[in-house]
Chain A
Amino acid sequence: MSDESVHTALRSDAPLVLVEAPAGCGKTHQGADYARDVAVDRSNRLLILTHTHAACSVFAERTRGSGSRVEIRTIDSLIAHIATAYHLGLGLPVDVPTWARRTPDGYRHVALRVAALLKRHPMIAGALAKRYPVVICDEHQDCSGDQHALGMAMLDQGARLRVFADPVQRIFKETPLAGSTPAQDWVALTKQAHAFEELDTPHRWRSGCPDLGRWTLLARAALKNGGKIDLRNNLPASVSVVVAENQARRNMEYQLAPTDRRAIDAFTRSHTSLLVLTRYNETARSLRAFFNRRLPLWEGHTRSALEKLVDAITAGNADCPKLAAAVVTFMNDIGKGFSPSAFGDRFEKEVRDGCTARSRGKPATIQELGRFLLAEPDHRGVAKLLARLAELKQGDADFADIEMDHSREFWEAVRLGNFEDLDAGLAEITHRRTYGRPKPPDAAISTIHKAKGLECGNVVVMPCDATTFPDREDARCLLYVALSRAKERLMLVVSRANPSPLFQL
């Protein structure tokens, strides 16, 4: 039983223990169980490093009662903490997190410098290793080379390192920065480890749909080994395959002939616990239209459009036309309808001209919006404008076609107006979101990236064609992450016209 050998290996004296952990095989349970055992001894302190705040909360729930002896944090926050302590030696400003957020690839630059600092001064990792004699590294496949270097530096200084990873869930890949350590190769790392174990019991499906669990592990093995998922034989009843051909003319959008979509509609209507998963943001937005806006978009924990808006407002520096352009961009990033042709061009022109031309009807309303910016050319004016826009969508027929698909992001922009200082406001809102841990709606559309870490009774993965899932490493990982979210039923929407090479139809 792998569960037992993992249990034993974690508790051994081996400095470096690696555990390969497919989705749903009890990784968090093993890690949290071990953490609680270590923390029973009051003199021990243990560090759990994750990549997301959501994972931090899960570990926090599972290790409740161990008190401050179990410290759980994201690896980025630990790196920022080290960088703050040594900002004078790293050439960084005192508020490293803000700097990292405002700088392109900021966190990665911080990690790069901290990795170099630890290499130059092993005593810093030594101090950490003494503070945390045991370190659990979760979701190691998402570590950059520089993040990985932090764990290894602590290992070198005597900490015990327990690494959980699923190389088949490695979906956050970035081109390394110049000078940074390349990402660690999992197979090479397994050779360095003093113990290497693999979890292989699909616990997530035990009570519901064991055959789906077994099939998911088989699919994983096929994807990991460069093979194809066999959709012809031995398909359990919980997996259904629908053949449907995308009719959309524009790239990344999705549309089906009525006959093709019948099965999908039936599936999505009959289940309350539902995730519709797709690879690209544009496709997700298109799927919202596909389902007649019946299903909300799951926005996850990041707000790229909001951060872009904040940067644009800062850069605009009270210049009204620039702020107007930023608002148009934001509205089109988070939804549709406030397009340049319908509103944007006119809106920007009115702001440029000072909203003085005599007008009635829709143009007059656009002027009303523009005056918010002229009166308060900053984030507060933007917030009032957006709030008014939401009212107009409800009450003014001219504005009825505007859609805020990322409604949380939209309302966070409105909320920014309550803060005197823009940066402080964004930090506060980000903080609240991080610790408020928003949960996805019961039924939602999501990109695969934002669905990582979630689980759901019923999952539709669409489209499963060659555009979305070509025979590439990243596509294999994304496909596995998508299909392993389902606990009871999985629907794959495949294409015969443009078939994905990852399936055998």
Chain B
Amino acid sequence: MTDIAPLAKPPAAAIYALTIERFRGITSLKWKPSRGVNVILGGGDVGKTTILEAIALLLSPVNPTTLSDPDYHDRDIEAGFSIEAILSLPVGAGISSQMKPSWPWEWVGEEAAVPALEHDGKLAGEPVYRVRVRGTEDLELAYEIVQPDGSADSFPVALRRAIGLVRLSGDDRNDRDLRLVQGSALDRLLSDKGLRSRMASELAKSDVKNELTTEAQAKLKNLDTAFKRESLPAGLDLAITGGQGASIASMIGLTADRSGIQLPLASWGAGTRRLSALAIAEQNQGDAPITLVDEVERGLEPYRQRTLIEKLQTGSSQVFLTTHSPAAISSAATSSIWYVDHTGQIGPLDATKIAKHRKTDPEAFLSRLSIVTEGATELGFTTAILERAFGSVLEQHGVHVSDGGGHEATLGILEALAAGGLRFGGFADDEGKHPTRWAKLHTKLGALLFRWPSLCIEENIIAVVPDDKLEAFITDPTGEKTGIRLRTLADRLGIADKDFAAFKAKAGADFKARIVEAALGTVPTGKESEKNEYKAHAGRWFKSVDGGRELAGKLFSLALWPALKPQLLPFCNAVRTAIGLGEIADLHG
């Protein structure tokens, strides 16, 4: 024989790349999912479910009959839509028994390429196929296999059925996979092709006429007479016959014993139905169908969510799963996590870089627009400012502000998100560290990333407080912390009494600097032995979520806002624009 090595065992069916153009809410999306479990996160209405539905349509085991204009992006039917996948197919998937031969493309890591003679000494890539479904301007679907020469052959139902798709949809009424619908998991498992015709002939035997009431029988008899009179076919009877619409087999569903009575499995809870559908799919030996799970938490308690996700993670199927459940996210340890941002782009979340953030604030990945701030003060401050910019609570708009847990950590998280091409917001200091990394982020995020031009939030705000308002600035509106703040100043100035005038006199021109030191908990030189004591001062000032909110409130109560407006307003407007609200000229007190 020649020296060509045989191909390795072909993999299960898997989507290597997915391109969606103008389908429903998605303008344009390009995605290279992983071969295992893909967990898709993101806020509401960003297109997570649309991605699943696009895959379901592309691999639909039946010919869907109805398209409507909302399936087209912006209802622009003339522009059409297209869903295309680069697929690897197992031997049994029937690609080799099509009427016309289908030719494999070469997967070169990023895309499907036409196999060529020239090469740079690298190993040839895996065989993949390009399939797509297009919504035409006639509201029809065109299923196509795209060949390496650019021509397109039919991508028939039989082949889609053979590839297999298990879909645990979010739709409560859907029990398709528990019925003998063509192409369902149950149909594939039993694969009894003759059943339909046997059922039809069996049902045709049933005596319907004798079930009729006497009056009804008489009417049927009269009809027969009328038929005879008009020379129409006569000898009328009633029987169960196949017709258009639902097939006989689709009326056959799985039933199970419940306290001695056989009941349709469809009457169990949504969670049980979904797990049952999955269990049926698993019985198809050697089958590893592409599996879609919309809202994994639907009908499942947290422990069953975890069991399901663990099971999917150990299987060999490619899985696409959406969730809003923190329990589900935290158990998806070996899955690829993806986030769909408010622009409809999907990008990877680097599991190691965001692990802590995912644990402490999973909601950051379940919202439309997530803003990562440097610390608790910034979290409180940003939230309060944005509430003014929106005139309402942020949850209502799908905006979530979270605490990145420090300057370095926040930079890391923002970078990880930006690497996936995602749009996030950020709010941070300028500590003079990593200028190039921050500059890169700025280019990507623009005004959605707010940074003080230099120094930190307390320093920037105290700088604009007029001397005659310093006392009011120190005062805690709730009254709780005013005394203790004065105490920290007294300690730092070496004055026994908490007397504001005395502080002012002693500190002189450095008074603001002393206040900043107290607010930041700076350890004075020579006091290193009491380091912890001095550091704790920060918490008594603004270093908390409430402290941040207090600072935001004082911008307005002390009329500091006009001085900071040029910096902060563009950020507020960038957030408003990101979620589709218009810009505003100013914030109101």
Establish whether residues B97 and A85, one from each chain, have CB atoms under 8 Å apart when the complex forms: no
Establish whether residues B7 and A126, one from each chain, have CB atoms under 8 Å apart when the complex forms: yes
Question: When A127-B103, A127-B104, A155-B1 are in contact, do A122 and B6 touch as well, CB less than 8 Å?
Answer: yes
Q: What would be 6 A-B contacts, judged by CB atoms less than 8 Å apart?
A: A86-B116, A88-B149, A89-B116, A117-B115, A121-B106, A123-B104
Question: When A123-B106, A127-B102, A155-B1 are in contact, do A94 and B149 touch as well, CB less than 8 Å?
Answer: yes
Question: When A127-B102, A127-B103 are in contact, do A85 and B6 touch as well, CB less than 8 Å?
Answer: no
Stretch in contact with the other chain, from B119-127, B286-294, B536-544: B119-127
Q: Hey, which chain A residues are within 8 Å of B115, CB to CB?
A: 86, 89, 117, 120-121, 123-124
Q: Hey, which chain B residues are within 8 Å of A339, CB to CB?
A: none
Establish whether residues A89 and B6, one from each chain, have CB atoms under 8 Å apart when the complex forms: no
Q: Which residue of B lies closest to A71 (CB)?
A: B101
* Minimum CB–CB distance for A188 against chain B, Å: 13
Establish whether residues A68 and B104, one from each chain, have CB atoms under 8 Å apart when the complex forms: no
Residue pairs across A and B with CB atoms within 8 Å: the count is 92
Establish whether residues B149 and A87, one from each chain, have CB atoms under 8 Å apart when the complex forms: yes
Whether A91 sits at the interface, judged by CB under 8 Å, is yes
Establish whether residues B117 and A113, one from each chain, have CB atoms under 8 Å apart when the complex forms: yes
Whether B331 sits at the interface, judged by CB under 8 Å, is no
- Report the separation of the CA atoms of residues A150 and B394 in the bound assembly, to the nearest whole angstrom: 66
Which of B96, B117, B124 makes the CB contact (< 8 A) with A122?
A: B124
Indicate with 1 or 0, residue by residue over A107-132, a CB within 8 angstroms of chain B CB atoms: 00000010011011111101110110
Q: Hey, which chain B residues are within 8 Å of A90, CB to CB?
A: 116-117
Establish whether residues B117 and A91, one from each chain, have CB atoms under 8 Å apart when the complex forms: yes
Whether A276 sits at the interface, judged by CB under 8 Å, is no
User: Which residues in chain B, 92-118, are within 8 Å of chain A measured between CB atoms?
Assistant: 95-97, 99, 101-104, 106, 114-117
Whether B147 sits at the interface, judged by CB under 8 Å, is yes
Q: Which residue of B lies closest to A149 (CB)?
A: B2
Question: When A86-B149, A123-B124, A131-B96 are in contact, do A117 and B117 touch as well, CB less than 8 Å?
Answer: yes
* Minimum CB–CB distance for B14 against chain A, Å: 16
Question: When A86-B115, A157-B7 are in contact, do A123 and B149 touch as well, CB less than 8 Å?
Answer: no
Interface size range on A against B: 35 or more
Establish whether residues A85 and B103, one from each chain, have CB atoms under 8 Å apart when the complex forms: yes
* Minimum CB–CB distance for A450 against chain B, Å: 32
Q: Which residue of B lies closest to A91 (CB)?
A: B117
Establish whether residues B96 and A127, one from each chain, have CB atoms under 8 Å apart when the complex forms: yes
Establish whether residues B116 and A124, one from each chain, have CB atoms under 8 Å apart when the complex forms: no
- Report the separation of the CA atoms of residues A467 and B247 in the bound assembly, to the nearest whole angstrom: 78
- Report the separation of the CA atoms of residues A153 and B7 in the bound assembly, to the nearest whole angstrom: 12
* Minimum CB–CB distance for A115 against chain B, Å: 10
Q: Hey, which chain A residues are within 8 Å of B412, CB to CB?
A: none
Establish whether residues B5 and A122, one from each chain, have CB atoms under 8 Å apart when the complex forms: yes
- Report the separation of the CA atoms of residues A422 and B127 in the bound assembly, to the nearest whole angstrom: 40
Question: When A85-B149, A90-B117 are in contact, do A130 and B124 touch as well, CB less than 8 Å?
Answer: no
Question: When A86-B103, A89-B148, A131-B96 are in contact, do A122 and B4 touch as well, CB less than 8 Å?
Answer: yes
By the criterion of a CB under 8 Å from any partner CB, how many residues of chain B are at the interface? 28
Q: Which residue of A lies closest to B91 (CB)?
A: A130
- Report the separation of the CA atoms of residues A126 and B9 in the bound assembly, to the nearest whole angstrom: 11
User: Which residues in chain A, 143-177, are within 8 Å of chain B measured between CB atoms?
Assistant: 152-153, 155-158
Q: Hey, which chain B residues are within 8 Å of A91, CB to CB?
A: 117
Establish whether residues A123 and B117, one from each chain, have CB atoms under 8 Å apart when the complex forms: no
Establish whether residues A119 and B102, one from each chain, have CB atoms under 8 Å apart when the complex forms: no
Q: Hey, which chain B residues are within 8 Å of A68, CB to CB?
A: 99
Establish whether residues A86 and B148, one from each chain, have CB atoms under 8 Å apart when the complex forms: yes
* Minimum CB–CB distance for B401 against chain A, Å: 50
Establish whether residues B96 and A121, one from each chain, have CB atoms under 8 Å apart when the complex forms: no
- Report the separation of the CA atoms of residues A397 and B284 in the bound assembly, to the nearest whole angstrom: 84
Leading 6 A-B pairs by shortest Cβ distance: A89-B116, A130-B96, A123-B127, A131-B96, A85-B103, A121-B115
Establish whether residues B147 and A85, one from each chain, have CB atoms under 8 Å apart when the complex forms: yes
- Report the separation of the CA atoms of residues A128 and B104 in the bound assembly, to the nearest whole angstrom: 10
- Report the separation of the CA atoms of residues A10 and B5 in the bound assembly, to the nearest whole angstrom: 25
* Minimum CB–CB distance for B112 against chain A, Å: 12
Whether A45 sits at the interface, judged by CB under 8 Å, is yes
Indicate with 1 or 0, residue by residue over A72-94, a CB within 8 angstroms of chain B CB atoms: 00000000011011111111001
Q: Hey, which chain A residues are within 8 Å of B150, CB to CB?
A: 88
Whether A192 sits at the interface, judged by CB under 8 Å, is yes
Q: Hey, which chain B residues are within 8 Å of A155, CB to CB?
A: 1
- Report the separation of the CA atoms of residues A116 and B103 in the bound assembly, to the nearest whole angstrom: 17
* Minimum CB–CB distance for A123 against chain B, Å: 4
